[in-house]
Amino acid sequence: MGSNSGLRGGRGSGRQALAQARAAAGDGDVAIQGGATTINQYLAAGLIDELRLHIVPLTLGVGTRLFEGVPPVKLEQVRSRGATSVTYVTYGVLS
């Protein structure tokens, strides 16, 4: 993966913030970092082509669930790797 341009709490709409990040990244990748609410907004808008999850077996009891309010999305597992107390999974977003 090439250079990344992180996107954290940009101003304006998600589409505007993503367009600014893509322009700044040039040919590089853009990483959207955030919680479930942020990721769900970008997934629902069809703006994510790869999803990287770090899964930790911890129950919080409250919060927004990943994929909550998102139309059905087809995912293809690209890779996964386990480590002590965490599993890293990468999915390609097909639709």
* 12 confidence band (pLDDT: 50, 70, 90): low
Query: For residues 22-38, b (16+ Cβ closer than 10 Å) or e, as one string?
Result: eeebeeeebebeeebeb
Could you tell me where the beta strands, DSSP code E, fall in 8-68? 29-32, 50-55
Q: Which residue has the tokens 């996107």?
A: 7
pLDDT single digits (tens) 63-87: 889 999 999 999 999 999 999 999 9
Query: How far apart are the C-alpha atoms of 95 and 92, rounded to whole Å?
Result: 9
Quote the tokens at residue 14: 């998600």
Q: What is the pLDDT of residues 13-51, one digit of tens each?
A: 778 888 888 899 999 999 888 889 989 999 998 889 999
What is the rounded CA–CA span in Å between residue 35 and residue 40? 9
